[in-house]
Chain A
Amino acid sequence: MNIFRRELYGKYRGSVLGVAWTLVNPLALMAVYTLVFSVLLKAFQVEHYALFVLSGLVTWVFFQSAVQMACSSLFAQPSLVKQVRFPRHILPLAVVATNVVTLGTMLGVVLIVNLIFIPETRTTFWAGIPLLLPLIALASGMAVIFGYLTVVYRDVEHLMTTIFLPWFFVTPIFYTLDKLPGLQGNDWLSWVIHYVNFVTPFVQAIRDPIFFGEWPALGDVVYCVVAGFVALALGVFVARRIDDQVAATL
């Protein structure tokens, strides 16, 4: 708990706006994508396009920043990792916990705005909330894996930075899979983006109830729950496997 406070405080130290800052990044992304894709290119005919992008970004921004920040969580604390007996996996998990605060704030704002502007969501919005659990599980598992891996392989953190940008583009955040002309009749590509990119089901399953006012697809929900468990299990496996090596290497 104290470690979590330490992370949270560290993230927002010296900033007057505190947690409000976390909304700036997604809002800026939303503004840019709305401008480019909806206003300039007129590529997507989605009503409330800005809110649509924002509803997808809720999931993505949490996932990306939790995993990215977790990469250095152990590496940046050599004295804790090397000198103290201490459950080391708490460090990446504290990063995830910090990002859950951000997630909650952002989701709260998005929900309120959506409820005002999109009346259909008023019956379905709650269905998105339990889906945050598998999302947090996914982020936790990956945070632990990459936090540990960064100690062993120093370039993992840079690798992740490089991967996240293209990853974002192949995740249906500023588009939907069923509305892309290029995906018509290109089922395998659609399938890859949907299921190989394991963030897609999370984005869709959470966005459906909170933006489209639809119940999440059963396939997506099942996928999310399984992915959450798999990520956690992998996290535990990696942590067990290299915990000792991490303390010795750093």
Chain B
Amino acid sequence: MKPGSIHAENVSRSFRVYPQRHVTLKEAIVRRRHLRPVEVWALRDVSFQIAPGESVGFMGRNGSGKTTLLRLLAGVFRPTSGRLAVDGRVGSLLELGAGFHPDFTGRDNIYLSASIYGLRKREVDRRFESIVEFSELAKVIDLPVRTYSAGMYMRLGFAIAVNVDADVLLLDEVFAVGDEAFQRKCSERILEFRRQGKTIAFVSHSGQALEQMCDRGVLLSNGLVEFDGDTSEAIRRYQELLAGDEDPAERAAGLREWGTGEARVTAVALSGAGGQPAEVVPSGEEVALQVTVEAGESIDPPVLTIELRDVQGALLSRVDRDLATLGWDSAQGEVDVRFEVPRLPLVEGRFQFNVSLRDRETARRYHSIEKAAEFTVAPGGEAQGFVLFEGEWSLRPSEGAQSLGVLPDEAQDPSPMP
């Protein structure tokens, strides 16, 4: 086998899960019978081959076995059955800065951490400069890492992990390292790995990152390989899987789009008074939202939902429209649905539209896009706040001096009070 290749043959891994989180020796002896562990299979008969230089993205919902697979690849534990062979040195970015001693200086921790990766002192000496340079921590390298910020800590961990000359790089969504500039640097470094022909196994929820990074996608579901092949096809199937899933936490895991894909929103455009696409629209002016919908097979007319939300995601308004009422005809292929607002009832701020398509009967989600369009409302006039609260003002003499003007009419009737 060449360095960098991975062979997995019917790999399964089970965990014994106990009813309680901690098992104590006392319980193990005293209540032997009550402690039946439950056998949970995190991975079942997983087979795949990764050739040196391939970048493979692993996706799947929480609990689908992605993390178990990465830990198997990292060699943290072994498969319960099956054969798994990873050839070459594995650089693992599963947990950055694992094993750092807080009281050690950055310098000492580089040596410590690299020795955990299996590097000799001489080999670390050679890489030391590039690690420090990459981490951008030259000024503080002789301070204890406990004085580092979380970002600096992670940066050092990342710098070490990518400098150990790994043949296989394992990544578990660690792109949230440091500031934006450093994140770019990390991504570039990983792409450089790719160009150098190193093998990359990557776990992520972000379709964009997967698409950018991977030649191939493997979709895991309940510990089984559901799909193995083209990245965009894997992402599409993953989105399909998520469609049945209304768990917001799952969706918040990074996917902006999900759905079964039988009908899709292909474009969303906001236009101003003149009909041109607009990013900034004046308060109280005419706007139109145009949603382009594409339906594959002949499906029943879907329901289009448009949600207006502020930048924090708070729902301001939701409108539904059954496209059947607009004369939907799936034979048309692509249609433009227009929603015209004569006077935009917003005062100022930044807002977004979420759009989604679902089946009228089953509420099956065809396609949902969060932040399909974002726009800014420019204030006009004297109104303040979010919502343009319009009405007619008037003033007139009050009728009936005794009455409390706000009470309903009935209450003003003389009542038989003693």
- Residues of A participating in the B interface, judged by any CB pair closer than 8 Å: 1-3, 5-6, 9-10, 13-14, 77, 79-80, 82-86, 149, 152-156, 159, 244-245, 247-248
Contacts and interface: CB of A to CB of B under 8 A. Distances in A.
Interface string B15-31: 11000001111101000
A153 B35 CA distance: 13
Interface in B222-271: none
A84 B15 contact: no
Given A79-B98, A82-B71, A83-B95, 15 more contacts: A1-B115, A3-B112, A10-B101, A10-B103, A77-B99, A80-B116, A82-B76, A83-B92, A83-B94, A83-B98, A84-B94, A84-B117, A85-B90, A86-B99, A154-B22
Contacts of A2: 111-112, 115-116
A77 B25 CA distance: 21
Main secondary structure of the interface of A (DSSP, over half): helix
A84 B77 contact: no
B66 to A, nearest CB: 14
| Leading 8 A-B pairs by shortest Cβ distance | A85-B75, A79-B98, A83-B95, A153-B25, A155-B24, A247-B77, A2-B115, A2-B112
A85 B76 contact: yes
Interface residues of B, number: 30
A3 B104 CA distance: 12
Contacts of A154: 22-24
Given A83-B76, A155-B26, A156-B25, A6 B116 contact: no
A94 to B, nearest CB: 11
Interface in B69-127: 71, 74-78, 90, 92, 94-95, 97-99, 101, 103-104, 108, 111-112, 115-117
Contact of B112 (A6, A85, A156): A6
A126 to B, nearest CB: 34
A9 B98 contact: no
A155 B101 contact: no
B6 to A, nearest CB: 14
B88 to A, nearest CB: 13
Contacts, number: 76
Contacts of B74: 83-85
B418 to A, nearest CB: 76
A62 to B, nearest CB: 24
Nearest to A10: B101
Contact of B23 (A13, A80, A83, A153): A153
A84 B93 CA distance: 9
Contacts of A84: 74, 76, 92, 94-95, 98-99, 116-117
Contacts of B90: 85
Contacts of B111: 2
A247 B74 CA distance: 12
Nearest to B73: A85
Contacts of A83: 71, 74, 76, 92, 94-95, 98
Contact of A244 (B77, B94, B103): B77
29 contacts: A1-B115, A2-B111, A2-B115, A3-B115, A10-B103, A14-B103, A79-B95, A79-B97, A79-B98, A82-B71, A82-B76, A82-B95, A83-B74, A83-B76, A83-B98, A85-B76, A85-B90, A86-B99, A86-B116, A153-B25, A154-B23, A155-B25, A156-B25, A159-B25, A244-B77, A245-B16, A247-B76, A248-B15, A248-B77
Nearest to B13: A248
A80 B94 CA distance: 11
Contacts of A3: 112, 115-116
A149 B23 CA distance: 11
A80 B112 contact: no
A118 B22 CA distance: 53
Contacts of A244: 77-78
A16 B308 CA distance: 64
Contacts of B16: 245
A153 B77 contact: no
Contacts of B103: 9-10, 13-14
B104 A9 contact: yes
Contacts of A159: 25
A5 B107 CA distance: 14
A86 B16 CA distance: 22
Contacts of A156: 25
